[in-house]
Structure formats: C-alpha cells, structure tokens
Amino acid sequence: MGPGIVILFWLVLAGIFGACWLTSLVLFLIGWRKKKPWLKWLGLVPLAGLTLIASLGMCFFAVVALRAFTPRYVFADSFGQKPSTDVTNIKSKVWSFADEADVHLQFQASTETFRRLLPKDLRRVTLEEYNSQMPTISGHTWPSWWCPVGESTTEIYLLNTGFGKGKKFASETTLMTYDANTRVVQYFYIGID
C-alpha cells in the first residue's frame, strides 16, 4: 500500500469514528434537554465508550512515539535486550509510515558486545561487496551523525533479502558495521513493501 492509500484509510476511519461520536453526543444532549433518561443513556454509553477508545488510542501512539525517539528503547527494540554497561553514546533515528520503516542506530561498544549483538543471519562482506550489494534507496537520507561505510570500517555485515523474502516486509536490508579504532557500532535496517 502506498502512503496515499494509508492516509485515505485513516481519514475514512476517523470520519466514521467522528460521525458516531457526534451522533452519540447529540442523542445524549437531546435526552438530557428533553429529560428522557432512555435517550440520554442511548447517547451516553457509546459516547463514553468511544471517548475511552480514543483516549487509549492516543496513549498507545504516545508510548510508541516515545519509544521511537528514545535511543535506549530503539536499541532494546532492535536487539531484544537492554544496552549493557559498555554501550555508550547511543544515537538513533526511526521512521515508519505506510509501506516503509527504517532504523538508524549508532553507539560505542566493545568487540565482544558487537559480536553478541550481531544478528545471526547477517553475512560478513568486504567493502567492494557492500558497495555492489547495498541497495540504493531513493529519497533516503542518512542522519548527520552517521559515519559512511568506508576503508576505516573494520567489519561489515549485510543481509539484503530478495523481494517477498523478508520477515516483516516484502524486502528488507540489514547492515551492521564496526570500527575497532573508535569502537563505533552502526546498525541500519530498512523494510519496504
């Protein structure tokens, strides 16, 4: 699904929700004004329920946004564990919308921690293999703090699935690099449908 379809879907859903909420409010106000308890309750029950659903939905999206903007949570979500004591200077950028999601994560850690965190399905590649296998992602911008993969990168690991072979998306690319001199670990994931 493209972004336009996703936006249209959520607009239609919000329109239906808003119409139901407004109808419930009108029924409640008419029942209250005309002193008809049955009409008041007919409006109040769905009004309260819809308001509760909207409040819970906003809380859910607030928690999701908080996790996406907090580097230690991005780390935990990416690797399935909290950062160990030797993991420092964590930076992250996460983006997800419609049919695409990406994660940029950079931190300093020991070689042992890098090896422990390295996803098992990634394959070690040379710089030349990286340059030929890393897909060009149109419109993608790297964060200002991101260190491009180059000659100083000690280890490069890459997984580039073919279309239809991803776990969460139709196509996925995962990159993890390590620079032994600076102890900088970088992790990049992008999934596209």
pTM of the complete model beyond 0.75: no
**What's the CA gap between 58 and 51, in Å, rounded?**
11
Domain boundaries, the chain: 3-68, 71-192
**Helix 37-69 to helix 71-79 angle, to the nearest 10 degrees?**
90
| Per-residue tens of pLDDT for the chain, all 193 residues | 566 777 788 889 999 999 999 999 999 999 989 888 898 899 999 999 999 999 999 999 888 888 888 899 989 988 888 998 889 999 999 887 767 778 899 999 998 999 999 888 888 988 888 887 777 776 677 888 988 888 778 889 988 776 766 566 677 888 999 998 889 999 998 887 7
Is-contact 175 187, C-beta < 8 A? yes
Q: Which amino acid is present at 11?
A: L
By three-state DSSP, how is residue 145 classified? coil
Burial of 80 (0-12, 13-18, 19+ CB in 10 A): exposed
